[in-house]
Amino acid sequence: MTCSIPVLVISNRKGGAGKTTVSVNVAAELAATGRRVLLIDLDSQGHCAVGLGVKMGAGQASVHDIFASPTLRLVDVMHETTIDNLFLLPANPAFQHDHCGKNEKRLAQALADDAIAEQFDFVIIDTPPSLDNLLLNALSAAHWVLVPYVPHPLSFEGVRQLVRVLFKVISERNPKLKILGFLPVMTANNVRQHRQVTEQVTKQFGALRVLNGIRSDIKLAEAFAVGKPVRFYAPKSRGAEDFAELAATLIQLMEK
Ligand SMILES: Nc1ncnc2c1ncn2[C@@H]1O[C@H](COP(=O)(O)OP(=O)(O)OP(=O)(O)O)[C@@H](O)[C@H]1O
Ligand SMILES: [Mg+2]
């Protein structure tokens, strides 16, 4: 029961670690290369729709509906976006995270649908800042996990805890899951603390796993607020440059 196209989960249990910014902008970068991308928003905060400028009407279908309806297909709840090659499976802002039942494989089952593999080249899943059955659904359905982190002292412990969870999921639930990398976000090279935290992550997990970071750039927050990926809002910004480079790296790692 696996999806035959690459499924990438963006995860960090810590709130505000850049998950949604990374999800939306990586999705837009991959779509710009002509790859057909499905972005799934598992977080009931519903921020992917905000970041893509997708207006959600009350009672509109959402990815969370699959947990109440065992036969619902993802192709029946996805939305077009204004961006070529990019579709969104939006979140239900009224969804209560403890209401997704006990089935950790429901999302994997829904993704193992020929219609998804025919219509898309990549699936990206944005996850909530929690360790619950929704996150287990995402990790059970995925081939890859990317961990963004803000290089603050407390983040390192959070990343370590998450990696323990990831290893448990790999050994007990989904042996296909691999850690694609750790991504420092909101970085500033002149802040010693940032360098120190990333050195710790590198020492613990290996230099190959630590990707070039996304620098701090207010344009990323502004782009989000107007519902556009940064490549459209401020194409010459640091943020746009960093996300283009990140997407090229991810493509190399996932398609090799
Ligand atoms: N590189 C960056 N430079 C400046 N601001 C950033 C950057 N990345 C993210 N932000 C801002 O930081 C805030 C948190 O980012 P984001 O919403 O992506 O985190 P998150 O991990 O998805 O949060 P949550 O856990 O609540 O879902 C947002 O206001 C976002 O615009
Ligand atoms: Mg988020």
Q: How far is the CA of 52 from the centre of ligand 2 (A)?
A: 13
Residue 104 has a pLDDT of 92
Q: Is 208 strand, coil or helix?
A: helix
Yes or no: say if 19 and 11 are a contact pair by the CB < 8 Å rule. yes
For residue 18, which ligand has an atom nearest its CA?
Answer: 1
Say if strands 86-89 and 79-80 run parallel, antiparallel, or are unpaired. Answer: antiparallel
Q: Identify the helix (H) or strand (E) that includes residue 138.
A: helix 133-141
Residue 218 has a pLDDT of 98
For residue 47, which ligand has an atom nearest its CA?
Answer: 2
Name all residues whose Cβ lies below 6 A of ligand 1: 15-21, 43, 45, 47, 129, 185-186, 214, 216-217, 220-221, 224
Residue 96 has a pLDDT of 84
Q: How far is the CA of 71 from the centre of ligand 1 (A)?
A: 34
Q: Is 160 strand, coil or helix?
A: helix
Domain contains 173:
yes
Domain contains 57:
yes
Domain contains 2:
no
Domain contains 11:
yes
User: What is the domain-level CATH number for residue 90?
Assistant: 3.40.50.300
Please give the chain's pLDDT, 256 residues, in tens: 788 899 999 999 999 999 999 999 999 999 999 999 999 999 999 999 999 999 988 888 999 999 999 999 999 999 999 999 999 999 998 888 777 778 899 999 999 999 999 999 999 999 999 888 999 999 999 999 999 999 998 888 889 999 999 999 999 999 999 999 999 999 987 888 888 999 999 999 998 899 999 999 999 999 999 999 999 999 999 999 999 999 999 999 998 7
What's the domain range around 235? 7-255
Q: How far is the CA of 49 from the centre of ligand 1 (A)?
A: 14
The count of domains in the chain is 1
Can you tell me which atom of ligand 1 is nearest the CA of 216?
3
- The per-type count for the chain, helices as H runs and strands as E runs, is 10, 8
Domain contains 211:
yes
Residue 181 has a pLDDT of 96
Q: Identify the helix (H) or strand (E) that includes residue 38.
A: strand 37-41
In residues, how long is the chain? 256
